[in-house]
Each structure stands twice: as structure tokens, then as C-alpha cells.
């Protein structure tokens, strides 16, 4: 597990796990990595 906001690292992710207030709230499987879209998938970009 890596915790990062660096798009270069997240581009190879195979899943996104979202946390709020220290609790896991959602898991998204990424079939071909995030492809640089992790911010969008996490709701940080529109």
C-alpha cells in the first residue's frame, strides 16, 4: 500500500481506496491502472 497524491505514482494503481476521517469508505478497482485520472476518480477534479 502506498499513500500518495503524486500522479506519477498513482498512474500504475490497480485500485483506489478512499478514506474519510481515518475510516475506509470506498474501494474502486481500476482495470488498467488509473491512467492519470486518480484525482477525478477520487472526486478531487471535475
Provide the pLDDT for residue 21. 93
Q: What span, in angstroms and rounded, lies between the C-alpha atoms of 6 and 24?
A: 20
Specify burial of residue 23 (Cβ count, 10 A radius: 0-12, 13-18, 19+). Answer: exposed
Please give the pLDDT value at position 32: 61
Indicate yes or no: pTM above 0.75: no
Q: What is the pLDDT of residue 25?
A: 92
Q: Measuring CA to CA, how many Å separate 17 from each of 5, 33, 34, 41?
A: 13, 13, 12, 10
Q: Where are the domains positioned within the chain?
A: 7-38
Give the pLDDT score at 43: 64
Predicted confidence at residue 39, as pLDDT, reads 60
**pLDDT tens track of the chain, all 46 residues?**
778 777 777 777 788 888 889 899 999 887 765 555 666 666 656 5
Amino acid at each position: 500500500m502506498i499513500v500518495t497524491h503524486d500522479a506519477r505514482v498513482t498512474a500504475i494503481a490497480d485500485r483506489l481506496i478512499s478514506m474519510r476521517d481515518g475510516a475506509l469508505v470506498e474501494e474502486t478497482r481500476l482495470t488498467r491502472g488509473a491512467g492519470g485520472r486518480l484525482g477525478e476518480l477520487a472526486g478531487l477534479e471535475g
